[in-house]
């Protein structure tokens, strides 16, 4: 594996949170980022990983950031106003950190717009306000106030993040395969290209096949990445970008009554909302409509307007099939009606087989449907870098790519993955993605019914969301 240093972070390098993703990012930073080790700090309230950080020669600041202390703690780490914050935490408000980073003049990266505790569970907020739509709109509005300020990359892991870069590659591939001229330079160019290609929608289609030799213990929530992360987003309402080709809202579906209106929400948990989807090797499968920022940023980015009216926009949402242990864990949690008291993240050493296929499924165009993405086995992830499994590696390498891009483009203000140079980011990330593959399929969501039961379906247009929905 190459040890090329892609970029240098001047000043302090502060990582907030040191869960499975933080641990996986660290060796990639050491390989590919130039930084002053004496000025790198990991802020992590748990003492569990103090020995590992000591082994790497990284300072560990064992403190939980709160609304009361975060500014004082972070300001003390950037006395000269230079450096980068890599926020991989839970329960620390991303928007407050972004504003502080702008004030201090330092670069900032996160993988999700995270609120303070009390938003995901037991919140008095109406369900529409517990979605990602109002969170994203707050970030976008905030970005207007800091245009041209220090780069703050919002929501950039594997998804959201890498999938937006893969989508642009997929569009260029589809254009080449269908003879459509393509040389997009601006957002408007990319949106126009997707419209000309006839893409009606995009699934962020993922299948995690990683397995452990040890059966999942009853009452323990097992996953291949953050359990807290899956639970928090899984119990938000299902949410999706809403295409201009859609004829009607799904059952329990609602439009937002404010903002640009590129998305809708469904009044049920995303982790309990199934859709029909497709991934390589397994073919047709169920996925979960768990809310993610890319389900909002992609349809917004690819909207074509005539004056103030949207004349083209794709439908977009996550269609996630977690690993088998996580599926069983979700069934247990939903059945019990309570959050698990015990949780466990499978380590690379525990996983005995499988991998993660994560890509974009573009549908409704001249060739039917096309899956384009990363197919990475856990065994290969282990070979590529320490502290990785297949799911984690797709995230950690995307964080690395975002760090490189931010260091190379330090004055871009607030950006999302769709607005970054996809070619540069994938050039950094690709050595860690296993096989990046393109698969065409004639599958539609109207196929593969074992028996025919009464259902709401549209036989005239297979690509209506009602045909995907399988709740």
Is residue 389 within 8 A of residue 381, CB to CB? The reply is yes
- Cis bond upstream, residue 160 (ω within 30): yes
Tens digit of each residue's pLDDT, the chain (471 residues)? 668 999 999 999 999 999 999 999 999 999 999 999 999 999 999 999 999 999 999 999 999 999 999 999 999 999 999 999 999 999 999 999 999 999 999 999 999 999 999 899 989 999 999 999 999 999 999 999 999 999 999 999 999 999 999 999 999 999 999 999 999 999 999 999 999 999 999 999 999 999 999 999 999 999 999 999 999 999 999 999 999 999 999 999 999 999 999 999 999 999 999 999 999 989 999 999 999 999 999 999 999 999 889 999 999 999 999 999 999 999 999 999 999 999 999 988 999 999 999 999 999 999 999 999 999 999 999 999 999 999 999 999 999 999 999 999 999 999 999 999 999 999 999 999 999 999 999 999 999 888 788 788 999 999 999 999 997
Burial class (CB in 10 A: 0-12, 13-18, 19+), 310: middle
**CA-based angle 100:101:102, to the nearest 5?**
90
Q: Radius of gyration over alpha carbons of the chain, in Å?
A: 21
CA angle (426 as vertex; 420, 430 as ends), nearest 5: 165
Tens of pLDDT, residues 45-97:
999 999 999 999 999 999 999 999 999 999 999 999 999 999 999 999 999 99
Give the whole-angstrom CA distance, residue 113 versus residue 228.
Answer: 14
pLDDT digits (tens, 9 = 90+) for 330-373: 999 999 999 999 999 998 899 999 999 999 999 999 999 999 99
Separation CA 355–CA 360 (nearest Å): 17
- Residue whose tokens read 């220090």: 150
- Domains in the chain (CATH in brackets) are 7-153 (3.40.50.720), 162-390+430-468 (3.30.360.30)
**Which pairs from 251-258 meet CB under 8 Å and 24+ separation?**
251/456, 251/469, 251/471, 254/128, 256/128, 256/133, 257/128, 258/137
Distances (CA, A) of 121 to 24, 91, 233, 331, 339: 28, 12, 10, 18, 10
């Amino acid at each position: 594996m190459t040890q090329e240093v892609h970029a240098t972070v001047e000043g302090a390098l502060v990582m907030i949170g040191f869960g499975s993703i933080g641990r996986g990012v660290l060796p990639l930073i050491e390989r590919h980022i130039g930084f002053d080790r004496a000025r790198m700090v990991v802020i992590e309230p748990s003492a569990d990983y103090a020995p590992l950080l000591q082994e790497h020669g990284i300072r560990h600041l064992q403190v939980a950031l709160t609304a009361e202390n975060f500014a004082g703690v972070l300001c003390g780490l950037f006395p000269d106003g230079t450096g980068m914050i890599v926020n991989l935490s839970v329960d620390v408000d991303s928007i407050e950190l972004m504003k502080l980073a702008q004030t201090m003049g330092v670069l900032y990266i996160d993988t999700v717009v995270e609120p303070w505790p009390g938003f995901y569970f037991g919140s008095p907020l109406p369900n529409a306000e517990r979605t990602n739509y109002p969170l994203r709109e707050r970030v976008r509005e905030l970005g207007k106030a800091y245009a041209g300020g220090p780069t703050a990359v919002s929501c950039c892991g594997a998804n959201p993040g890498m999938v937006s870069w893969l989508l642009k590659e997929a569009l260029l591939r589809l254009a080449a395969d269908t003879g459509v001229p393509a040389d997009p330079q601006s957002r408007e160019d990319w949106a126009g290209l997707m419209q000309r290609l006839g893409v009606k929608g995009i699934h962020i289609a993922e299948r995690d096949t990683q397995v452990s030799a040890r059966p999942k213990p009853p009452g323990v929530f097992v996953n291949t990445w953050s359990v807290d992360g899956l639970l928090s987003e899984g119990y938000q309402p299902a949410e999706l970008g809403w295409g201009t080709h859609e004829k009607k809202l799904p059952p329990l579906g609602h439009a937002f009554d404010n903002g640009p209106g590129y998305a809708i929400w469904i009044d049920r948990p995303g982790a309990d909302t199934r859709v029909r989807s497709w991934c390589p090797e397994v073919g047709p499968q169920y996925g979960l409509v768990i809310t993610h920022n890319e389900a909002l940023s992609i349809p917004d980015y690819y909207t074509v307007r005539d004056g103030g009216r949207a004349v083209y926009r794709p439908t977009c949402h996550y269609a996630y099939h977690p690993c088998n242990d996580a599926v069983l864990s979700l069934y247990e949690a939903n059945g019990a009606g309570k959050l698990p008291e015990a949780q466990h993240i499978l380590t690379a050493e525990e996983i005995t087989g499988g991998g993660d296929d994560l890509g974009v499924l573009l549908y409704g165009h001249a060739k039917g449907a096309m899956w384009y993405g990363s197919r990475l086995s856990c065994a290969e992830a282990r070979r590529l870098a320490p502290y990785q499994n297949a799911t984690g590696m797709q995230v950690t390498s995307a964080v690395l790519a975002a760090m490189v891009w931010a260091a190379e483009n330090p004055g871009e203000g607030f950006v999302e993955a769709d607005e970054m140079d996809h070619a540069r980011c994938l050039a950094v990330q690709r050595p860690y993605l296993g096989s990046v593959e393109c698969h065409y399929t004639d599958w539609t969501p109207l196929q593969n019914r074992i028996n025919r039961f009464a259902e709401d379906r549209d036989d005239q247009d297979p690509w209506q969301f009602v045909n995907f929905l399988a709740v």
